[in-house]
Amino acid sequence: MESDHKKRKKNQPLSLGITAQGLPLSATLAIDELIAKKKQTNDERLLHMGFGESSLPLHPALRKALSDAATYTRYGPVRGILELRQAIASYLGRTRGITCESQQVVIGPGSKALIYALLRLLEGDVLLPSPSWVSYAPIARLGGKRVIPVQTDPEDHHTLRAEVLAETVRLAKKDGANPRMLIINSPDNPTGGMFDEEDVKAIAEWARSEGITLISDEIYAELAHGWRKHVSPFQFYPEGTILLAGLSKTFSAGGWRLGYAVLPATETGEKVINAIRALGSEVWSTTATPIQKAAVEAYSPNKSIEKYVKASAKIFGYTTEELYKTYIDVGILCARPAGGFYLYPDFEPFRKALEKEGVRSGKELSTYLLEKWNIAALPASAFGEEDAVLRLRTSTNTLVEPGNVHTPQEREKALWRILDEVLEDNFDHDFPILSFAKERWTKVIKHLTNKR
Ligand code: PMP
Ligand code: GLU
């Protein structure tokens, strides 16, 4: 006889499948939505450091290209339009010394969607540095993969070391896993770190010797702050590296949803592209054609767009470095950022004082900061670290806000003035919210120090 419970379940008009049960919203998007709601009901000044995106004004050439392309209303090719794939291949050659052809490039609706396709389609389990970007592990699980964390050392700026990789693989295999790919991200989200050339060579060499695919997420490559050069493993290990990037960060167009992947120029590389095409053809059909047309402009030679990208990198470098200096001055541990718009401060020196405030974990720390100090940041656990770790990811992109503006038009004008000044090196550093952030963090630490 069927139990009442079973009968009721069977007759439910709507119920979730196993994959969806307990599937949370991605931590980044969840905090962004929470803060948007909080802002509506809270007059107090909120420091939103929980979400990373570039919200600099769109370059006018891209705006024009998109509006000119509005009439491309038909579906396009699944792998992306040839014009764009060609533009990306020559862009990578011109700007990064990466040799590739248009047939190695595949376009998708955001690099996130392409990461999902890859993790769904490639064979084997995923090696993931700890910490690493919030979405890799959930995407890997959605793709049916086992996630194998690779430990990094905060004192070594969370750099991946070949010895640690080798030992992790040895133990994982012993445990029945089948590690076949490693995701790396430089500049890194959440740490702001970048590999130097030697690091990249060592990782590429190790991956080649083990037959591991390197999935190299280079979405922040153009936003290197200037003291460390971005180096791609694609240069050293072209037969085993998949390079991923897109419009979101470099061209301040996250909402446009356009990413790309470059696959090796091998028979298997082509098979992987065909598999992504097959998956894409069933899930997203094509990436919006007007956006692809506008992206051609972004990746074609254009002095003004190149200057804009350089200026964006300088601005994010400036605000991130400034906040980093405050962290160091007040006694927070933090590695120097090299690219992107993230810092990964460690509050371990304040553990005792935080305990007196009822804070024992990274999650409790982020709740405490939000409730008591109006600071939104994501805990280390969202990036795959242990709960007890008192590190946070603070994004610095929201500090790039001009003061004394009242309308979106005034904001845009002020930001263009700043972008121009940055290029001429006479930037007056006028970000009131950056000063506010420095003051607020200093206050938090003063309060904690008095508790010690
Ligand atoms: N990788 C990293 C490390 C990111 O921070 C982001 C931004 N969310 C992405 C990939 C995805 O970018 P998109 O899907 O907008 O191309
Ligand atoms: N890249 C952003 C972040 O890590 C958010 C966008 C997203 O997660 O898709 O905060």
Q: Which of 33, 26, 35, 30 shows the shortest CA–CA distance to 375? A: 35
The confidence score (pLDDT) of residue 29 equals: 80
Instruction: Give dist(CA 319, CA 324) in Å, integer.
Output: 9
pLDDT tens-digit map of 77-124: 999 999 999 999 999 999 999 999 999 999 999 999 999 999 999 999
The confidence score (pLDDT) of residue 49 equals: 95
The confidence score (pLDDT) of residue 452 equals: 64
Ligand nearest to the CA of 397: 2
Higher-confidence residue of 140 and 3: namely 140
For the ranges 8-12, 197-201, 238-242, 398-402, the lowest mean pLDDT is seen at: 8-12
Instruction: Give dist(CA 411, CA 153) in Å, integer.
Output: 40
pLDDT tens-digit map of 202-240: 999 999 999 999 999 999 999 999 999 999 999 999 999
Residue 38: how many other CB atoms lie within 10 Å: 16
Residue 6: how many other CB atoms lie within 10 Å: 10
Ligand nearest to the CA of 109: 1
The confidence score (pLDDT) of residue 43 equals: 57
Q: Could you give the 3-state DSSP secondary structure of residue 129?
A: strand
Q: With a 6 A CB cut-off, is 442 part of the ligand 2 pocket?
A: no
What residue has token string 């994959």? 19
Instruction: Give dist(CA 341, CA 146) in Å, integer.
Output: 29
User: What are the residues whose beta carbons fall under 8 Å from the beta carbon of 426, sequence distance 6 or more?
Assistant: none
* Mean pLDDT (the chain, rounded): 93
Instruction: Give dist(CA 195, CA 434) in Å, integer.
Output: 27
pLDDT greater than 90 at residue 11: no
Higher-confidence residue of 349 and 9: namely 349
Per-residue pLDDT averaged across 53-80, rounded? 96
* Partner residues linked to 346 by β-bridges: 333, 391
Residue 127 token pair: 């090696």
Q: With a 6 A CB cut-off, is 220 part of the ligand 2 pocket?
A: no
User: What are the residues whose beta carbons fall under 8 Å from the beta carbon of 98, sequence distance 6 or more?
Assistant: 92, 232, 234, 235, 243, 262
Ligand nearest to the CA of 383: 2
* Partner residues linked to 105 by β-bridges: 262
User: What are the residues whose beta carbons fall under 8 Å from the beta carbon of 89, sequence distance 6 or more?
Assistant: 100, 101, 102, 104, 105, 262
Residue 295 alpha carbon to ligand 1 centre in Å: 17
In the sheet that holds 241-246, the strands lie side by side as 105-108, 259-262, 241-246, 213-217, 179-185, 125-130, 147-151
Residue 287 alpha carbon to ligand 1 centre in Å: 16
Higher-confidence residue of 352 and 23: namely 352
Q: Could you give the 3-state DSSP secondary structure of residue 396?
A: coil
Q: Which of 81, 107, 140 shows the shortest CA–CA distance to 276? A: 107
For the ranges 1-15, 135-149, 343-357, 402-416, the lowest mean pLDDT is seen at: 1-15
- Whole-number Cα distances in Å, 279 to 103, 122, 283, 288, 310: 17, 12, 6, 16, 35
Residue 29 alpha carbon to ligand 2 centre in Å: 7
* CA dihedral over 66, 70, 71, 72, signed as positive or negative: positive
Q: Which of 52, 12, 15, 10 shows the shortest CA–CA distance to 31? A: 52
pLDDT greater than 70 at residue 146: yes
Residue 203 alpha carbon to ligand 2 centre in Å: 25
pLDDT greater than 60 at residue 162: yes
% of the chain beyond a pLDDT of 70: 96
pLDDT greater than 60 at residue 327: yes
For the ranges 22-36, 81-95, 293-307, the lowest mean pLDDT is seen at: 22-36
Ligand 1 binding pocket (C-beta < 6 A) is 52, 110-112, 133, 185, 189, 217, 219, 246, 248, 254, 259
Instruction: Give dist(CA 223, CA 124) in Å, integer.
Output: 32
- Of how many residues is the chain composed? 452
Residue 51 phi, psi dihedral angles, 5° rounding: -130, 135
- How does residue 24 score in pLDDT terms, banded at 50, 70 and 90? confident
Residue 189 alpha carbon to ligand 2 centre in Å: 9
With the most atoms of ligand 1 within 8 angstroms of its CB, the residue from 51, 53, 111, 158 to mutate is 111
- Whole-number Cα distances in Å, 354 to 380, 447, 452: 16, 10, 9
Instruction: Give dist(CA 110, CA 247) in Å, integer.
Output: 8
- Whole-number Cα distances in Å, 64 to 109, 293, 415: 21, 11, 19
pLDDT greater than 60 at residue 256: yes
CA torsion 43→49→53→56, rounded to 10°? 60
pLDDT greater than 70 at residue 7: no
Q: Is residue 109 a contact partner of residue 258, using CB atoms and an 8 Å limit? A: yes
Residue 174 alpha carbon to ligand 2 centre in Å: 34
The confidence score (pLDDT) of residue 312 equals: 96
Q: Which of 113, 107, 60 shows the shortest CA–CA distance to 87? A: 107
Higher-confidence residue of 272 and 6: namely 272
pLDDT greater than 60 at residue 324: yes
The confidence score (pLDDT) of residue 44 equals: 65
Instruction: Give dist(CA 263, CA 271) in Å, integer.
Output: 10
The confidence score (pLDDT) of residue 37 equals: 76
- How does residue 33 score in pLDDT terms, banded at 50, 70 and 90? confident
pLDDT greater than 60 at residue 14: yes
Ligand nearest to the CA of 52: 2
pLDDT greater than 80 at residue 427: no
pLDDT tens-digit map of 283-295: 999 999 999 999 9
**DSSP states along 23-76:** -PPPHHHHHHHHHHHHHHH--SPPEE-S-----SPPPHHHHHHHHHTTT--S--
Q: With a 6 A CB cut-off, is 435 part of the ligand 2 pocket?
A: no
